[in-house]
Amino acid sequence: MPIIQVENLVKRFGNITAVNDISFDVEEGTIFGFLGPNGAGKTTTINILCTLLSPTSGRTLIAGHDCMKEPSRVRTAIGIVFQDTTLDKDLTAYENLVFHAYLYAVPKAEMKERVNDVLKFVDLYDRKDDLVKKFSGGMKRRLEVARGLIHRPRVLFLDEPTLGLDPQSRTNLWEFITGLPRKHKVTIFMTTHYMEEAEVCDRIAIIDNGKIIAIDSPEELKKTVGGDVVSITTTDNESARYEIEHTFRMNVAEKENALYMTCSRGDTCIPELIRTLGERVLSVRIQRPTLNDVFLKLTGKTIREEEASGNDSVRESIRAHRRRQ
Amino acid sequence: MIQCASLSGRTGEDNEKKGFMELNAIYVIVAREFKKFIREKSRLFSAIARPLLWLFIVGAGISRLVPRDTGVPYTQFIFPGIIGMTILFSSIFSSISIIWDKEFGFMKEILVAPVSRLSIVVGKALSGTLVSTMQAVIILALFPFLGFKLSMIQIIAVVFICASVSFCISAFGIVLATFYDSYESFSVIMNFIIMPMFFLSGAMYPVKLLPDILKVVAKLNPLTYGIDALKHVLFPRGLGSMGPDFSLVTDAAVILFTSFIFVFVAGKAFERKQ
C-alpha cells in the first residue's frame, strides 16, 4: 500500500483554485518531489496533507489514515519542516527538541537519548545549549529536520527546505536529506522550485497552476525532451555543418561560432561526429536535458519567468482571503 | 525497527495513553512559557512596575480628591483593583504571545502535533495563569505597607481567586489572539480592550457609582467579578457604598462560566482552517 494516497484533491480559496483535482501516490521509503513555480499549489497541498487545512473536496490518506477523519493518527505518522522556520528562537536547540518530544509523547526514558542522537546526526550537538536565535539559516533548517525525526515519523515533509540558504549549506543539506530514507526508514515528501534540487527524487510530480502536468522519475521526464544537446566548434563551421546535415540528417543551428544539434543519445553521437569531421573538430560539449527543459517543454515557459509573473499576487489574494475569514 | 516502534505506539493508543499525551502537551506548553518568563527579566520588571505606579502615584494623587469618611484610605480601596490590573495585563500579554507564535511560525509546530486543540488552549491558559498569579502574589506581598492586616486564610483565598481570574482572563486573551494574525493589532487590543476593561472593572471606583450605560459594560466584563471577589476577601467588614457590588457566589459563578465559554470558543477557533 502506498504511504501517501491523494485522490482528486481540490482546494479553493474563494474563487481562486489553488489545487485543481490532483491525484497521486507515494511509495514507502522513496523521495517524492513536488516541483513547480511559487504559487503552483505545493504548500497548499502540504498543508492539507499535514492536517492544517481542510480540502474543498477529495481524499488524502497517510499510512492508511484519512487526514480529515483521523488527524491525530496522521499527525503521529508525519514530521514536517515548513518553508518558514517554526523554531522558538528564545529557547535553546535542546529545549526546542525536548518540547517536541513531549508534544509527541516520546517515552521519558528514551527522550534524552533520542534528542541527543538527532542532535549528533545533524552535527549540532556541540551547540545544543545555545539559543536558536544565534543560529545561521542552515543550522536552523538542520535543527528543524532533526526535530521532525525525534518521534520517528513514517513520512517527513520538507517544504522548500533550502530556501534562503547559501550554496554551501544547500549542498550539505541535500547530502543529509538524501541519506534519510536509508538511515531513518522514512519517506520524504518535498517541494522545491529549484530544478536541480529535484534531481535527487525517485519520483517527481511537476505542478503548475494547481494541476499535476507530469509525474515520473527524473530520468524518464528528461527523456520526454527528446535527447541531448550537442555543441561543437570546428575550424570550418560551414563545411562541417553541410556534412552533418547530409550524413546524419540532423537539424543544425549555428550560434556564437558553435554548431548545436539534438541527438537522442549524445554519448554515441559524439564519436560518430568526430569520425566524420576528423581534425576539423576543436571542441565538443554535451548537455543533458535538465528538468528546466522538461518544464519548458510542458508549459512553454521556464520556472523563472513564471516567478516574475502574477503568482505573487495569487499568494497575496490567498492571504487576504484567509485574513477575511 | 523504527517503524515497529511507531506502529506499536499506534496500536497501543488506548484512552490511558491518549490522556497521558494530552497531559504531556499541557505540561510542556506551560513549561515553555514559564522558562521564557524567567529568562526575560525586563518583562517581569515592567509587569511589576506598572501596578506600583498606579498604586503609589495615581492612587496617592486621587486619594486627595476622595472624601476621607469612606472607611478606608483610597490606596487601600484600589488594592484589589491593582491586583486585578496585574492579572489583566499579564494574562492578556501571555495569551496574545500566540500572535507572535503565529507570526514567527512556532504555532504550526504545536498545531501539527497529535494533541487535541482543547489541550493546546488549556495549556496556554494555564501558562497565563501561572505567570499572572506569580505577579499578583508579588503585588499582594505589599499589603503590610498599605495598612492591611490579613490572616493566612485571607491570603490563601486571595491567591486562589487570583489563579481563577488569571485563568479566565488568559482564556479570554486566547480568544482575542485567534482573531488577529499580526502583531500590528497589538495597539488595538491595548487601547480598545485592555484599557477599557481595566477602567470599567471597579478597580478605581465602585461599579455602582458609574453612569448607567457604563454600568452595563462593566457588568459584561469578567474582570469586574474577579476584583469584586477580591474586595469580599480583603474587606470582610464591608465598605458601605465603596464595597463589593455583587455577591461572592455571583462572582464565582460568572468567572467559572465565562472561563468555560472562552476555552470552548478558543478550542473551536484552533480547529483546521477552511
B194-204 per-position pLDDT tens digit: 999 999 999 99
Q: Tell me if A100 sits within 8 A of A151, measured CB to CB.
A: yes
Q: Do B24 and A90 touch (CB under 8 A)?
A: no
Say whether A16 sits in a helix, a strand or coil.
strand
Q: Do A75 and B3 touch (CB under 8 A)?
A: no
Q: Do A76 and B39 touch (CB under 8 A)?
A: no
Q: Do A105 and B39 touch (CB under 8 A)?
A: no
What is the total count of domains within chain B? 1
Q: Which of A103, A321, A325 to mutate to test the interface with B (most CBs of B within 10 A)?
A: A103
Q: What is the largest CA-CA distance in chain B?
A: 79
Say whether A92 sits in a helix, a strand or coil.
strand
Q: Do A76 and B20 touch (CB under 8 A)?
A: no
Which residues in chain A have their CB less than 8 angstroms from residue B27's CB? 102
How far from the centroid of its chain's Cα atoms is residue B9's Cα?
37
Residue A309: is its pLDDT beyond 50? Answer: no
**Residue type at position B241:** S
Q: pTM of the predicted model, to two decimals? A: 0.82
Burial B62-87 (b: 16+ CB within 10 A, else e): beeeeeeebebbbbbbbbbbbbbbbb
Say whether A261 sits in a helix, a strand or coil.
strand
Lowest-confidence segment of A114-118, A288-292, B27-31, B172-176 by average pLDDT: A288-292
Q: Do A88 and B39 touch (CB under 8 A)?
A: no
Q: Minimal CA–CA distance to B81: which of B254, B201, B247?
A: B201
Closest-CA distance of chain A to residue B149, Å:
42
* Sheet of strand A155-159, all strands in order from the earlier edge strand to the far edge: A78-81, A155-159, A187-192, A31-35, A203-208, A211-216
Neighbouring-strand partners of residue A261: A230
- With an 8 Å Cβ cutoff, the interface of chain A facing chain B consists of 50-54, 71-73, 75-78, 80, 82, 84-91, 95, 98-100, 102-105, 147, 151-154, 184-186, 322-323, 325
**Looking at this predicted complex, what is its ipTM?**
0.84
Q: Minimal CA–CA distance to B234: which of B71, B90, B99, B6?
A: B71
Q: Between the CA of residue B210 and those of A321, B193, B242, B256, what are the distances in Å?
A: 42, 18, 12, 25
How far from the centroid of its chain's Cα atoms is residue B24's Cα?
23
Closest-CA distance of chain B to residue A104, Å:
6
Q: What is the pLDDT of residue B175?
A: 93
Q: Do A52 and B274 touch (CB under 8 A)?
A: no
Closest-CA distance of chain A to residue B163, Å:
25
Which residues in chain A have their CB less than 8 angstroms from residue B107's CB? 86
How far from the centroid of its chain's Cα atoms is residue B31's Cα?
17
In a domain? residue B6:
no
| Chain A nearest-CA residue for B20 | A105
Chain segment B110-162, per-residue pLDDT in tens: 999 999 999 999 999 999 999 999 999 999 999 999 889 999 999 999 999 99
Lowest-confidence segment of A137-146, B3-12, B187-196, B261-270 by average pLDDT: B3-12
C-alpha cell at position A124: 549540532
Q: Between the CA of residue B52 and those of A53, A80, B150, what are the distances in Å?
A: 46, 46, 20
Residue A201: is its pLDDT beyond 80? Answer: yes
Cβ-Cβ contacts under 8 Å between A and B: the total is 104
| Chain B nearest-CA residue for A14 | B274
In a domain? residue B274:
no
In a domain? residue B9:
no
In a domain? residue B224:
yes
Collect all residues with Cβ–Cβ distance below 8 Å to B124 and sequence separation of at least 6: B29, B33, B94, B95, B98, B170, B174
Burial tier of A246 (Cβ tally within 10 Å: 0-12, 13-18, 19+): exposed
Share of chain A above pLDDT 90, in %: 45
C-alpha cell at position B93: 500579554
Q: Do B113 and A80 touch (CB under 8 A)?
A: no
Q: Between the CA of residue A147 and those of A103, A136, A150, B139, B237, what are the distances in Å?
A: 11, 16, 5, 40, 58
Residue A287: is its pLDDT beyond 70? Answer: yes
| Chain B nearest-CA residue for A12 | B274
Q: Do B273 and A322 touch (CB under 8 A)?
A: yes
Q: How many CB atoms neighbour CB A170 within 10 A?
A: 19
- Minimum-distance CB partner of A53 among B10, B181, B273: B273
* Mean local confidence (pLDDT), B4-19: 54
**Residue type at position A259:** L
Assign 3-class secondary structure to B80-149: HHHHHHHHHHHHHHHHHHHHHHHHCCHHHHHHCCCCCHHHHHHHHHHHHHHHHHHHHHHHHCCHHHHCCC
Ordered DSSP codes for B17-39: HHHHHHHHHHHHHHHHHHHHHHH
**Alpha-carbon torsion (B265, B271, B273, B274), positive or negative:** negative
In a domain? residue B259:
yes
Highest mean pLDDT among A154-168, A224-238, B116-130: B116-130
Domains of chain A, earliest start first: 4-222 (3.40.50.300), 227-287 (3.30.70.1150)
A314: pLDDT confidence band, cut at 50, 70 and 90? Answer: low
Collect all residues with Cβ–Cβ distance below 8 Å to A287 and sequence separation of at least 6: A228, A229, A230, A231, A266
Q: Do B39 and A90 touch (CB under 8 A)?
A: yes
Which residues in chain A have their CB less than 8 angstroms from residue B9's CB? 76
Say whether A202 sits in a helix, a strand or coil.
coil
A40: pLDDT confidence band, cut at 50, 70 and 90? Answer: confident
In a domain? residue B213:
yes
- Minimum-distance CB partner of B3 among A98, A154, A323: A154
Q: What is the pLDDT of residue A188?
A: 94
Give the Cα separation of B179 and B136 in Å (integer): 27
Residue B10: is its pLDDT beyond 60? Answer: no
Q: What is the pLDDT of residue A322?
A: 52
Q: What is the pLDDT of residue B87?
A: 97
Q: What DSSP state is assigned to residue B211?
A: -
Where residue A67 falls (left for φ over 0; alpha for ψ -120 to 50; beta otherwise) is alpha
C-alpha cell at position B5: 516502534
In a domain? residue B10:
no
Give the Cα separation of B54 and B88 in Å (integer): 14
Give the Cα separation of A26 and B110 in Å (integer): 26
Give the Cα separation of A103 and A81 in Å (integer): 16
Which structural domain, as residue segments, surrounds residue B109?
16-269
Place of cell 484599557: B195
- The residue ranking higher by pLDDT, B135 or B46, is B135
Give the Cα separation of A119 and A112 in Å (integer): 11
**Rg from Cα positions in chain B:** 20
- With an 8 Å Cβ cutoff, the interface of chain B facing chain A consists of 2-3, 5-6, 9-10, 13, 17, 20-21, 24-25, 27-28, 31-32, 35-36, 39-40, 104-116, 181, 272-274
Residue A161 sits at the vertex; the CA angle it makes with A159 and A166, to the nearest 5 degrees, is 150
Chain segment A171-186, per-residue pLDDT in tens: 888 888 888 888 888 9
* Mean local confidence (pLDDT), A3-21: 94
* Mean local confidence (pLDDT), B30-50: 89
C-alpha cell at position B132: 499572572
